[in-house]
Amino acid sequence: MTNHNFKTLVAMALLATLTSCQEKASEKSEPITPDTELTAQEIANGRLTPEVLWKFGRIGTTQVSPDAQTVLFTVTRYSMDANKGVTNIYTIPVAGGEPTELTGNETNDFSPQWRPDGQRIGFLSTRSGDTQLWEMSIDGTNPMQVTKVEGGINSFAYAPSGDRIM
């Protein structure tokens, strides 16, 4: 066997091994606990190391409400031990103030959008296994699964009239 063929064979075996060990999206994984607290040593050092930066939440999707009074956004927090993150949805008044966590759970809730009438919030979530469209009241209560698409979905948009989802 030539050196080139051997390298190709090894690369194919490695690829097969890596792809066969991936976790299925629909399988429930162990809940993660994001690392958000700085240790006494990290505070005393006063340095923004990569480990310290990972403890900060990452702001994601943002959208202003139809009445221009509230900002909807996501924050992803990470667990370095689990090498995973969890994303939740928040709101904050445009005029300023404290953010309100709407979906504080251990599954990923992301890509939030205001319904055109401003009465509910649509978002993607893994809380039912595969990623599906969910909606909730603007205060985070009454979550309701909207889609049950086999294999999940990866995006959505509301029609301007609010009567259809694309």
Q: What is residue 16's predicted lDDT score, i.e. its pLDDT?
A: 44
pLDDT (tens digit per residue) in 89-107? 999 999 999 999 999 878 8
Higher pLDDT, 2 or 37: 37
Report the pLDDT averaged over residues 137-143.
97
Q: How far apart are CA 94 and CA 104, in angstroms?
A: 21
Higher pLDDT, 20 or 110: 110
Going by the DSSP 8-state scheme, the letter that residue 22 receives in this structure is: P
Higher pLDDT, 36 or 152: 152
- Let me know how long the chain is: 166
Q: Is the pLDDT of residue 12 over 80?
A: no
Q: Where are the domains of the chain?
A: 29-145
DSSP three-state, residue 11: helix
Higher pLDDT, 95 or 24: 95
Q: How far apart are CA 48 and CA 59, in angstroms?
A: 18
Name the residue type at position 126.
Answer: T
pTM higher than 0.85, yes or no?
no
DSSP three-state, residue 165: strand
pLDDT (tens digit per residue) in 40-50? 888 888 888 88
Region of residue 34 (phi > 0: left; psi between -120 and 50: alpha; otherwise: beta): beta
